[in-house]
Amino acid sequence: MFSDEIIKLATKVLQMARDKGLHLATAESCTGGLIMAALTEIPGSSDVVDRGFITYTNRAKMEVLGVSPETLRIGGAVTKETAIAMAEGALEHSSANIAVSVTGIAGPGGGSAEKPVGLVYMACARRDGETIHEKHLFGDIGRDKVRETTVVAALGLFLGAMS
């Protein structure tokens, strides 16, 4: 189901979380749960995986994660601010110590000059630290590839935040 690269990264994320006594959550939009699926593909992941939120619509982002209507009204769902609010909302609504969020435009449609297909914002929030964020421009490489590349980047964000 997942590439060897994703399985290796997910395994590293889980082991690092175990070693540090952390529990993980995800808040996903454009990946539709693929990050959590990659983590739970690994046997024994239940000792560090807390939960995943799939919040594809703006309404879900508001209702489930507490993203403010104002944040979504000002910039829309695909912004740094929304990614940060999603990650922080995942922490607030879970028992996790660390949460990663992703929001983007996987395509093939839905892009614009300001927000092209392949644009993904992600954030990582920790209970004991600052929320960090990243902007990725993966390009119009096809929906599957945008989503797969986003999973790889999000797992890397988990690793970087735990290091």
Backbone angles phi, psi at 69, to 5 degrees: -55, -35
Residues 8-51: tens digit of each pLDDT = 999 999 999 999 999 999 999 999 999 999 999 999 999 999 99
How confident is the model over 121-149, as pLDDT tens digits?
999 999 989 999 999 999 999 999 999 99
The Cα–Cα gap between 101 and 124 comes to 6
What distance in Å separates the CA atoms of residue 115 and residue 110, rounded to the nearest whole number?
9
CATH superfamily, region 4-162:
CinA-like (3.90.950.20)
Q: Give the amino acid at 130.
A: E
What residues does each domain of the chain span?
4-162
Q: For 140-155, give the DSSP string.
A: SS-HHHHHHHHHHHHH
Instruction: Judge contact between 6 and 152, C-beta under 8 A.
Output: yes
* 97 within 8 A of 23, measured Cβ to Cβ: yes
